[in-house]
Structure 1
């Protein structure tokens, strides 16, 4: 085996970690609108030390936050590690101690019994708190201006996932958790609500049809939907040296539908063929029907089969799932919406849980079947028109994040932000577009003097 074959792809190129924590004033080319004031926070995995597991997975790195602070046509940049208990323990010992996904087979005895949360997947501004989130631990609060770590927000009563939904009408944050219970990698789940003031007012536990990675979920004005898809979880499998999470299509796919004000015992399980969804675009309801626009994969990418053999490359495309609550069938109706491969779909956050007109996502016109996205796309669902801005020269983009022109601007009226890796220069830019005219290219670019590694999610916050 040659040297290149041994390089973990998630530790190479722009997946590779950066270890410095920096503060830069960025050079701006073009003109940032004077009305654009606030901060774009992005987060992703950035291992503090060389991982213990030779099969290290991208999802397992320590969280690092990248803050872009925009005001008066200027941009300041700051990045900091999220100093979780895991980060602190490993920092103390000067080396990696935890196995991937907490696997006890690859965890150092020094770390056994300690929290292994990485806080690397999403970063959310709610009720005056900036919180870093991941799949299986409490939210972790950081200072929005300095990015200094403040610690876990404990009132959540246990683990939560990284994809809450913010209700624009009530101000509530609606969330869920999976793998809940005494045993890791279980089928236990929780449904929770945090009110507009940051108080946790509900946490209810229930059992899913089987244990799996429930990366995200869907919420409408009155309902919550829980996708149970066959990227399964198994402690027994992990303890035998096989993958903790693996693709088992024979399990099929289920989506549980529940009124937000109802008991979890009322969940109705709809079904469809085996597929995977990391991220929905948005969901809403009309009468007795619920509509969910999701990025759907035929098979789960990035993960192996249950026997440990490599999984398939796969790409997602935007489809609409329809749930007929008044019908006699529990089948999910599926309608294709777009034929362009993509990921990280986003809407104007002011219409999350409500019917939307506009959507944006990172796209892959090359159909590579990887998570590397070389374009941005805008969909106008009212006209059916799609705009695409393609990058060149091997450049790749992050998830796009919408910024409204003003608090009361119409849906979709504002700017789109994306962090772009410039392959030839091995550094990154913050690019700003007119949200409904992305094809003409960015109206402004703020240049980072080094690269920002590929990450997961970001959100805009008005810190005034």
Structure 2
């Protein structure tokens, strides 16, 4: 019997993730006293930070995957109604430090994985650039200089995650991590408010799944064990990102108590699909409700980035008594990067929102098959009224992930502001746009004009002063 040939890399000279709004910027920029159109709310006192891939040296277009570029964190400091500064800084991997003529920063690199390019959070007084698949967090200063790669004071034995879930009740972070060199398990950790791992267990899985995110409720943590897995043939062929759709793997979600043990996991099958990002989860009696952005497949035919059909919002109700999951599509609008108010993570939420991928040149494009990650606006759902609100940012203007900042700690879920970076193709510059969450369709409250373009990237957060 003849063996199948190893998958070959495509013979192409271009890669969409290296061009246009995705194209990396070539220099680090520092600018002060940024111009503002409108009025910045004085309650906004902190830093808006966003992470994403930004290759420092030109990669091979045929082998470049969007998820593999060196991390670059962008930040805007707001205080007293002013935009005090903008900075962009490469996360100092060993390769980035060498290319910039600098000494490597301290800290062990687990399994030589250093591309902390996916998210940036504040926790226990630290700013952390984070990634999945075995990479350690990179600790940054308030001004975004890399301090070290962190093992959380010796308590983190392996890698971390791109998407820790912060429990509003405790302030602790819950994560599911994975690494191709430990193919039979995923790693559940709980990071305490002191920034140290206080709970860690290995959960058995059939083999090397890619777990981008997890969910929590008031009682449980949810594992998404879905059919994108490490592919040895792709790795041997030299692929920069050797994960692919696996028809034979199956699809399931696991539910275990917060801080639980592997033998407490209850598994429930779902239809094969892929979920990068759940919007939220909550308990409903004995059931667990999961609102997720569901992709029909992932990395089945395209090995440069996510491009396997339109992702849309679904609700999975895990009926623990019946041992099954009820799957319901809530909307067919193409979207990604879902969020809720961080104060209601794991609780019933009123508002959920995401970045619409069907917004082409400011047009709603509801019936369009042209699902583009570089054509985004706000799509917001009101669970109380059932209404959907779609907000475009104008012709040639692309919004990324939107973050909510409440006016006060006790404010309602729509009493505050949405912050997002918007790229303008006409000027090839970016802005930090501030929307009134009570009236997001109205003109922006403020637009902070940045001195450079921020490439389309991944995730960001608002870090209040003092946190």
- TM-score relative to the length of structure 2: 0.88
- The reply on whether 1:259 has 2:253 as its aligned counterpart is no
Which structure has greater helix proportion? 1
Does the residue aligned with 1:335 lie in a helix, a strand or coil?
Answer: strand
Distance 2:145 2:304 in 1: 41
In structure 2, the CA distance between the partners of 1:148 and 1:309, relative to structure 1 (3 Å rule), is closer
Q: Deviations over 1:267-302 (max 9, x none)?
A: 1211111111110111111220101111111112xx
Please show how residues 67-106 of structure 1 align to structure 2 within 5 Å.
67-75=75-83, 76-92=85-101
For these two proteins, the number of residue pairs brought into alignment is 435
Asked whether the equivalents of residues 295 and 308 of structure 2 are also in contact (C-alpha less than 8 Å), the reply is no
In structure 2, the CA distance between the partners of 1:258 and 1:240, relative to structure 1 (3 Å rule), is same
Distance 2:40 2:307 in 1: 42
Please show how residues 117-266 of structure 1 align to structure 2 within 5 Å.
117-135=114-132, 136-144=134-142, 146-154=143-151, 155-179=155-179, 183=181, 186-240=183-237, 244-266=242-264
- Structure 1 residue 258: deviation in Å? 0.9
Distance 1:203 1:410 in 2: 35
Q: Deviations over 1:248-269 (max 9, x none)?
A: 2343311111112321122121
- The reply on whether 1:323 has 2:318 as its aligned counterpart is yes
- Structure 1 residue 51: deviation in Å? 1.8
Asked whether the equivalents of residues 45 and 120 of structure 1 are also in contact (C-alpha less than 8 Å), the reply is yes
- Structure 1 residue 85: deviation in Å? 2.8
Structure 1 runs (4+) deviating above 6 angstroms are: 308-311
Please show how residues 302-321 of structure 1 align to structure 2 within 5 Å.
303-305=299-301, 313-321=308-316
Deviates more, 1:72-81 or 1:385-394: 385-394
- Structure 1 residue 316: deviation in Å? 1.1
Asked whether the equivalents of residues 313 and 370 of structure 1 are also in contact (C-alpha less than 8 Å), the reply is no
Distance 2:306 2:415 in 1: 40
Does the residue aligned with 1:377 lie in a helix, a strand or coil?
Answer: strand
In structure 2, the CA distance between the partners of 1:190 and 1:454, relative to structure 1 (3 Å rule), is same
In structure 2, the CA distance between the partners of 1:310 and 1:407, relative to structure 1 (3 Å rule), is closer
Does the residue aligned with 1:372 lie in a helix, a strand or coil?
Answer: coil
Distance 1:93 1:68 in 2: 25
In structure 2, the CA distance between the partners of 1:207 and 1:21, relative to structure 1 (3 Å rule), is same
- Structure 1 residue 405: deviation in Å? 0.5
Asked whether the equivalents of residues 65 and 304 of structure 2 are also in contact (C-alpha less than 8 Å), the reply is no
Does the residue aligned with 2:280 lie in a helix, a strand or coil?
Answer: strand
- The reply on whether 1:34 has 2:42 as its aligned counterpart is yes
In structure 2, the CA distance between the partners of 1:113 and 1:168, relative to structure 1 (3 Å rule), is closer
Asked whether the equivalents of residues 190 and 206 of structure 1 are also in contact (C-alpha less than 8 Å), the reply is yes
Asked whether the equivalents of residues 361 and 376 of structure 1 are also in contact (C-alpha less than 8 Å), the reply is yes
Please show how residues 15-34 of structure 1 align to structure 2 within 5 Å.
15-24=22-31, 25-34=33-42
Partner of 2:334: 341
Q: Deviations over 1:299-332 (max 9, x none)?
A: 12xx2449x89985411111111111222x3x32
Partner of 2:293: 295
Partner of 1:358: 351
Distance 1:310 1:49 in 2: 19
Structure 2: 5+ residue stretches without partners: 1-10, 104-108, 359-364
In structure 2, the CA distance between the partners of 1:341 and 1:115, relative to structure 1 (3 Å rule), is same
Asked whether the equivalents of residues 225 and 256 of structure 1 are also in contact (C-alpha less than 8 Å), the reply is yes
Partner of 2:4: none
Distance 1:187 1:19 in 2: 40
Distance 1:216 1:203 in 2: 17
**RMSD after superposition:** 2.4
Distance 2:95 2:192 in 1: 29
Distance 1:167 1:291 in 2: 17
Q: Deviations over 1:354-394 (max 9, x none)?
A: 11111121102334233223211221111111211113322
Please show how residues 380-391 of structure 1 align to structure 2 within 5 Å.
380-391=382-393
Distance 2:304 2:72 in 1: 31
In structure 2, the CA distance between the partners of 1:210 and 1:140, relative to structure 1 (3 Å rule), is same
Does the residue aligned with 1:251 lie in a helix, a strand or coil?
Answer: coil
In structure 2, the CA distance between the partners of 1:116 and 1:311, relative to structure 1 (3 Å rule), is closer
Distance 1:400 1:246 in 2: 28
Structure 1: 5+ residue stretches without partners: 95-111
In structure 2, the CA distance between the partners of 1:312 and 1:445, relative to structure 1 (3 Å rule), is closer
Q: Deviations over 1:223-268 (max 9, x none)?
A: 1111111112123442145772111234331111111232112212
